[in-house]
Structure formats: C-alpha cells, structure tokens
Amino acid sequence: MEELITLDYGSGGKKTSRLIGEQILPRFKNAALEALGDGAIVPGGEKLVFSTDSFVVDPLFFPGGDIGKLAVCGTVNDVAMCGGEPRFLSCALLIEEGLPMETLERVLSSVQAACEAAGVQIVTGDTKVVEKGRGDKLYINTAGFGPLRFPGLSPKAIREGDRVLVSGTVGDHGAAVMLARTGMGQDAVRSDCAPLHRMAAALLEADLGVRVLRDPTRGGVATTLNEFIEGTDLGIRLREEDIPVAPPVRAACELLGLEPLYCANEGKLLAVVPPESEQAALALLRSFPEGRAAAAIGTVTAVRPGTLVLRTRLGAGRILQKLTGAQLPRIC
C-alpha cells in the first residue's frame, strides 16, 4: 500500500526519527549533518554553527509568546545548544493569502523585539504568499549561525555517573499552546519561550566539563534524553519527585491528557554534567532569571543501556520511550 505522510512524522518523536534516518541521512551523507544536533558545525577559517527551523505553531499568539518570538528564540537556542554564539538570522515568511496585515505587523514586531532581546540580527529573508487554503495564516522559517565558541559538546561525551540537569519547570510551552488552542485557561499557563544563549554561554565558560546541552522542544524532555542515549551502552534514570513542573502546567496536562515530560519547552535547556560539577552548575543556572528553577533530575547509569527510566514517587520504574505519534501537532 502507498505510504502517506501522517502528522506523526512531524511530532519530533519516533516517526520523525525514522523519516530522517531512512529518507534524509542516506541521501545527504556528511559528518556535520550526521551529528544530528539541532544545528551543524561547519568547517572553515573559523568554525561556525548553523541551524534552521520552520515554525508552524497554532495559534499564532499564545500566553507568553507568539510565532515571531518563537522563530527567533528557537533558532538562537539551537545555535547556542551546539556551542555557538548566535549572531545572524534569516527570516522567511510563508503567508496564506488573506492574512490581515495587522497580524503580520504584530508578528514582525515580535520578531524585532526578540532579536533585540537576544542581540541577534536578521540579515536576509524571503516572502512567499500561497493561496487561501494552502497554508494556515503564517509559517516562519529562520536559519541562523554564529561562531563556534565551545567545541566538543556531544551526547558521545556522556559518562556513567553523570548528572542530568534541567534549567527549570518542564512542559510550559506545550501546555500553554494546547490550552490556548482549546480556548480554556487563558493566562493560567504561559509559554517559557525565551533565548537561552547567555545562560548557556555562562555554563560553558565556567569550565564545569559540560558533556552536552540541548533544548527539549518538540517531543519534550523524555524524547531529548532518549536521543542522548540511543544506541549507547548507557541509560538514564530520572527521579519523578525531582522534576520541576509548575502546578498550573500539571493541572493543564491532567486536563488535556498530556505527560509534561513529553510536552515541548521553548525556554529550557537540558545539561549533562559530571557529578562533581552538579552543584556548581545548578548554582550557576539558578543565578539567571530563566534558570531560577533549575534542578538535577536524573543520573546516567550503565544498568539499562539505551533506556530512560522514570523512578516514580511510588518507587516503580517506568520506561519512557521517544514520543510515539503526534502528541502535540504544530506546537512550534
């Protein structure tokens, strides 16, 4: 039977991985792409980090942000997580015919404010308009790059005994967008959408032996941690009681049938650090407003290779796989 692309393929979970692994990597073989970070480190006189993302979030505006802010922060964060200093962005607008000009203006002003806040510049762009019914109001692609400041970050650097840190509460963005989509909740849950490059740079400058950084967007913390240990002989054990979840996010997730560990974040980073750096790294993250709820949430083990296990409050061990299916389509 003819295979059709379903929404699952865009979930950031298992099907997305399969699509990339089967259709994309075999065609475009090169070391930079195969590292499969959210950005690529490319050679040259000065090494650069390069990243791209398309943003298709629905609705365009949600508590805590909008597609414009998201499009800047998402690419800034991807470059930063690869050890780059984000500097220059492209911005390509894909507009559905009939979009009110006022909506476009609001989004562009938000892009502008986000660029100013992050200290990056839009230096090139593109504008396409498609017929009504061939898009959905507005999609934005940003690509971005900047010099590689901190080389060597990689899931391959992770060692047994390392600690897993998260820079704050999990699931805020996913819960905020899903609530906004239902029309419930109003401002009870706000997206965490924020640029993380300054906090990331401070952490990397502090010489704490950080193994890898990643912002757990689509697919959430559980999917990102699975990607870290996939195909390795290491596992990760999370402690449920240590995972910071804001009470309104927990309530929203229960209402909507979501698991916060699979909910997208847009202003949080995961860091894996050696055990001796745990306290210093936490203190450093907490010194930033965007990291004040930072927590150590798990440990790297050699007990169950390739497996992410959540030790629940009741003491049971629950295996968390990569996101399967489209829990949250068009979350970013």
Q: Whole-number minimum distance, CB 8 to a second copy, in Å?
A: 8
Closest CA to 217 of 158, 264, 149: 264
Q: Whole-number minimum distance, CB 19 to a second copy, in Å?
A: 6
Q: How far from 193 is each of 67, 137, 305, 307, CA to CA, in Å? A: 10, 21, 33, 29
Q: Answer for the pair 245, 293: CB distance below 8 angstroms, yes or no.
A: no
Q: Whole-number minimum distance, CB 254 to a second copy, in Å?
A: 26
Q: Whole-number minimum distance, CB 78 to a second copy, in Å?
A: 8
Query: Phi and psi at residue 271, in whole multiples of 5°?
Result: -130, 135
Residues 198, 77: Cα–Cα separation, whole Å: 10
Q: Judged by CB, which is closer to a second copy: 56, or 178?
A: 56
Residues 246, 244: Cα–Cα separation, whole Å: 7
> Facing residues of 296 across strands?
165
Q: Whole-number minimum distance, CB 189 to a second copy, in Å?
A: 23
Q: Judged by CB, which is closer to a second copy: 92, or 206?
A: 92
Q: Whole-number minimum distance, CB 225 to a second copy, in Å?
A: 20
Q: Answer for the pair 81, 40: CB distance below 8 angstroms, yes or no.
A: no
Q: Whole-number minimum distance, CB 237 to a second copy, in Å?
A: 30
Q: Judged by CB, which is closer to a second copy: 129, or 302?
A: 129
Q: Judged by CB, which is closer to a second copy: 85, or 290?
A: 85
Amino acid at 302: A
| Angle (deg, nearest 10), helices 197-205 and 67-81 | 10
Structure tokens at 178: 């899903």
Q: Judged by CB, which is closer to a second copy: 28, or 283?
A: 28
Q: Judged by CB, which is closer to a second copy: 146, or 267?
A: 146
Q: Judged by CB, which is closer to a second copy: 16, or 191?
A: 16
Residues 326, 6: Cα–Cα separation, whole Å: 9
Q: Judged by CB, which is closer to a second copy: 227, or 290?
A: 227
Closest CA to 54 of 85, 26, 78, 75: 75
Q: Whole-number minimum distance, CB 187 to a second copy, in Å?
A: 26
Query: Phi and psi at residue 236, in whole multiples of 5°?
Result: -130, 135
Residues 279, 50: Cα–Cα separation, whole Å: 31
Structure tokens at 255: 């209402």
